[in-house]
Amino acid sequence: MFSFFSARRLPGWIAILPQEGAVTLAHVVREVNSRPEVRRLESFAVEKGEANPLQRLRVARGLKSCACTTLMADGDYNVTPLDAPPVPPDERREALRWALKEMVSYPVDSACVDVLDIPNAGLPPGRQAGVLVVSAAEAAVRARVAAFEAAKITLSAVDIPELAQRNVAALLEDDNRGLVFLRVDERGMMLTLTFHGELIAVRRGEMSTLQLNGGSDEMRARVRERLVLELQRSLDNFDRQYGHIPVSKVVLACYPQADKLLAELAANSYVPVHEMDLSSVIDFPALPELNDTQFQARNLLAIGAALRLEEAVA
């Protein structure tokens, strides 16, 4: 997404995600004509009062020779769907930058902006192609990078959770079919539509596994009902807006697990719903714990961030 390329020697990407008193590190290598391989996946607790856990991690794991990435935190960026502007390719980003002026709360002239094309093959005649514009205030990006700079870890790119989830979903797609991916964790839910490995649409919600697993029976039932309704509405919405994309399945990644949620979603969806299982698309010979789908779901964003296709270059 926001790229800052530098030289490196170790193949693949290392994603480093500081969050909630811990730092998660994932190293994934993607080689031509081979399945992606997770070579390292570790979480480190951040000790209270520790000045810079990233610095200790840099030394312990030899990160100087790696292409490293991280993710922007929720609330520190925007993903805005817009029509593709009728301008030459080299003018598109600036045109979209100013289209955001009334939609974001930060100055767009200094904002970090990138553009994701929505595949337009099969669009009905007269339908304008769309894009997703990813933007963040310059101060927010600098704040995210600052801790890494202090630790002398060079970031080759900064991504967003939507693209980390997209990277995983792309591996699970059926040929020439769209895939709806529903991730629910303790912070909330994110639902994405992907097609041909590209992010088409995103929907977010506050329903979380804390709500699904806590409180009274009545409260839990209400949250489940809202989640089921959100999936139904999203599928209907995708069908109306992207009817040219046939969706073959919904994939669910839920951590911590919510009892019988998969069965409830499947019973109320006209599209088949499956639990995420990365063992069918990713190798991890040195990490047998990744055979556990709950361990996969817990580390989904770290793995997805390290699944970047873009190569870091000198």
Tens-digit pLDDT profile for the chain (314 aa)? 665 555 446 899 999 998 878 899 999 999 888 999 999 999 988 876 555 788 888 888 888 878 999 999 999 999 999 999 989 988 999 999 999 999 999 999 999 999 999 887 666 666 778 899 999 999 999 999 999 999 899 999 999 999 999 999 999 999 999 999 999 999 999 999 999 999 999 999 999 999 999 989 999 999 999 999 999 999 999 999 998 899 999 999 999 999 999 999 999 999 999 999 999 999 999 999 999 999 999 999 999 999 998 765 43
In this structure, what token pair is assigned to residue 124? 């009905």
1-73+138-159+285-314 and 78-136: identical CATH topology: no
CATH number for 78-136 (one of 3.30.1490.300, 3.90.25.10, 3.30.70.1350, 3.40.50.300): it is: 3.30.1490.300
The topology under which CATH files domain 169-276 is Nucleotidyltransferase; domain 5 (3.30.420)
Neighbours of 286 (CB within 10 A): 11
CATH no. for 1-73+138-159+285-314: 3.30.420
Q: Produce one character per residue of 184-195: b if its CB has 16 or more CB atoms within 10 Å, e if not.
A: bbeebbbbbbbb
3-state DSSP assignment of residue 314: coil
What is the DSSP code string of 92-148?
HHHHHHHHTTTTSSS-SSSSEEEEEEPP-TTPPTTPPPEEEEEEE-HHHHHHHHHHH
Tens of pLDDT, residue by residue over 134-149, are: 999 999 999 999 999 9
pLDDT at 53: 83
Q: Tell me the C-alpha distance between 200 and 209, whole Å.
A: 25
> What are the domain boundaries of the chain?
1-73+138-159+285-314, 78-136, 169-276
